[in-house]
Amino acid sequence: MANHSQFGFQDASSPIMEELVEFHDHALMVALAICSLVLYLLALMLMEKLSSNTVDAQEVELVWTILPAIVLILLALPSLQILYMMDEIDEPDLTLKAIGHQWYWSYEYTDFKDLSFDSYMIPTTELPLGHFRLLEVDHRVVVPMESPIRIIVTASDVLHSWAIPTLGVKTDAIPGRLNQTSFITTRPGIFYGQCSEICGANHSYMPIVVESTPLANFESWSSLLSS
């Protein structure tokens, strides 16, 4: 959960988000090195007299051609690795279907015979003390911890987007189309998100809440809800 004075990412709660945060830090260090080098060269050129060696030198031109290519490779390789990791869905333990509506979410646990519900935002006037305004819902998505979860996302009316920042998940919900992604929660907790696609007047009132619990607690919850 983000706080008011936070400048960075939320604490990662999935392996994919951990990789994304690490790549972000890696890219920032590369950008910092480039900016430092450029500022140093600018200061050097302003303070030193120009000579024929610096104005016309094939060695310098070779360096400033090869060096950016190496930098791009250092950025592209980990980026492609994370991209393929995000698309990889290998034998999920649970499949969840999320359907976006104006302006609430419907969820179906397809591995269970009859386990589905609608998830509405709790109005501010009915919000229990200590809960988060515009983020709490009447029915949370409960998933088992440390288990591969596949989520199939679609919409019934307009474009929506199912996004949980701390899990590194953001998938568009498009009417007439099924998009899928996956995630693994590495710790128990409650993770908040919102619809990330402008979908109408009440776009900001479509929160998403995922609760990660141990497997035994999830089995008790699913048996209670489906009975």
Q: Digits of tens for pLDDT over the chain (227 positions)?
A: 677 777 888 888 899 999 999 999 999 998 999 999 889 988 888 887 765 555 566 777 888 889 889 889 989 998 998 888 888 777 889 999 999 999 899 999 988 888 999 999 999 888 888 888 899 999 999 999 999 999 999 999 899 999 999 999 999 999 999 999 999 999 999 999 999 989 888 888 999 999 999 999 998 988 887 66
Q: How far apart are CA 108 and CA 23, in angstroms?
A: 33
pLDDT at 210: 95
Q: How far apart are CA 174 and CA 181, in angstroms?
A: 14
Q: Any idea which fold 94-225 has?
A: Immunoglobulin-like (2.60.40)
Between the two ends of the chain, the Cα-to-Cα distance in Å is 32
Q: How far apart are CA 218 and CA 220, in angstroms?
A: 5
Q: What is the DSSP letter of 53?
A: H
Contact 159, 197 (CB under 8 A): yes
* Domain spans, the chain: 15-87, 94-225
- Using the Cα atoms of residue 15, residue 179, residue 140 and residue 221 in order, give the sign of their dihedral: negative
**Domain made up of 15-87: CATH architecture:** Orthogonal Bundle (1.10)
H or E segment at 36? helix 15-47
For residue 105, count CB atoms less than 10 angstroms from its CB and return exposed for 0-12, middle for 13-18, buried for 19 or more.
buried
pLDDT at 212: 94
pLDDT at 45: 81
